[in-house]
Amino acid sequence: MNKHHAQRGSAPGLLTGASVLFYKEVLRFWKVSFQTVAAPILTAVLYLLIFGHVLEDRVKVYDAVGYTHFLIPGLVMMSVLQNAFANSSSSLIQSKITGNLVLLLVTPLTHRAWFVAYVGASVVRGLVVGFGVWLGTVWFAPQGLVEPMWVLVFAVLGAAMLGALGLIAGLWAEKFDQLAAFQNFIIVPMTFLSGVFYSIHSLPERWQMVSHFNPFFYMIDGFRHGFLGVSDVSPWISLAVVSGSFLVISAVALRLLATGYKLRQ
C-alpha cells in the first residue's frame, strides 16, 4: 500500500470523509422533514388512537400495565426501525436512478466511510422520528423510563442495524419497485410480527416459537423493557441477539460496498 492509500485508510481520513457524507445525508432528509419526520409521527399517533382506544379495556398484557402504556414503546421503536431503513435505502436508490452516484464514486471515500456515513445518518433520522413519536404519544399515557440505558442501547443499535440493512437493500435494488418489495415483504411483516401491538405470550405456542426467530422481536422487547421494566425475554438475551444480527448485517453491507456491488453499473 502506497502512502496515498495509507492516508486514505487512516482513522482521521475515515472520519473526515465520513463526516462530510454524513452531513450531506442528514441534510438530505432534514430538508424534506415534513415528509421524512412529520408524516411517520402522524402515522404512529393514528395507530395509537385507533388501537389504544379500541383495545385499552379489552387487552391486558402485563400486571399493572395498561395496553396504551404497553403500546407506546412499541410504536416508538417501530418508527425508529422503519425510518432508519428508509433513510439509507432510499438515498442509495435515488442516487442510482438520478445518476449522481458517480459523484461519490470519484471521491477518495473508502467503503468504511460510506458505511459510517449512511448508517450514522440513518440512526439520526430513526432517533429523531422516534423521539417525535414519543412526544406525540406520551400525552395519552404519561410514563417514565424505568431503565433508560436499555432504551438508548436498543434504539441506537436497532437503528444502526436497520440502516445497514437499508444499505444492502439500496445496493441490491435497481428501481423503486424492487426497494418497495423488499420493504413490504420483509421489513414491514417482520416489524408488525415483532410484538409491537401484542405480547408474544398471547400467541399459540407454535407462533411464539416462530417469533423467537425474528430479530425485530428482540429489538422491540428490549426497548420496551427500558420503559416498563418488564419484557417477554431477558434484555440481555435481546442484546445478544440484536448485537449478533447487527454484526452479521454490517459485515455483509461492508463486503458489498468494498466490492462495489451494483455501484458501477
What is the tens place of the pLDDT at every residue in 228-265?
998 999 999 999 999 999 999 999 999 999 999 988 76
Taking the C-alpha atoms of residue 236 and residue 222, their distance in angstroms, rounded to an integer, is 8
Q: Grid coordinates 411464539 are at which residue? A: 208
| In contact, 259 and 111? CB cutoff 8 Å | no
Q: Is the dihedral of CA 241, 243, 248, 252 positive or negative?
A: positive
Taking the C-alpha atoms of residue 127 and residue 113, their distance in angstroms, rounded to an integer, is 21
Higher-confidence residue: 56 or 45?
A: 45
Beta strands in the chain (DSSP E): none
Neighbours of 136 (CB within 10 A): 19
Interval 50-58 mean pLDDT: 75
Q: Grid coordinates 452516484 are at which residue? A: 101
pLDDT digits 0-9 by tens, 180-228: 999 999 999 999 889 898 888 888 888 888 889 999 999 999 999 999 9
How high is the mean pLDDT of the chain?
A: 89
So what's the pLDDT on residue 8?
A: 45
Between the two ends of the chain, the Cα-to-Cα distance in Å is 27
| In contact, 166 and 176? CB cutoff 8 Å | no
Residue 45 cell numbers, joined? 399517533
Interval 85-112 mean pLDDT: 90
Interval 24-51 mean pLDDT: 93
Residue 94 cell numbers, joined? 435515488
Report, in this order, helix, strand and coil percent for the chain, each rounded to 5. Answer: 80, 0, 20
Phi and psi at 104, nearest 5°, equal: -80, -35
| In contact, 171 and 261? CB cutoff 8 Å | yes
**Long-range contacts of range 202-205, CB-CB < 8 Å, 24 or more positions apart?**
202/61
Does residue 58 carry a pLDDT above 70?
A: no
So what's the pLDDT on residue 210?
A: 87
Higher-confidence residue: 143 or 21?
A: 21
Residue 185 cell numbers, joined? 415483504
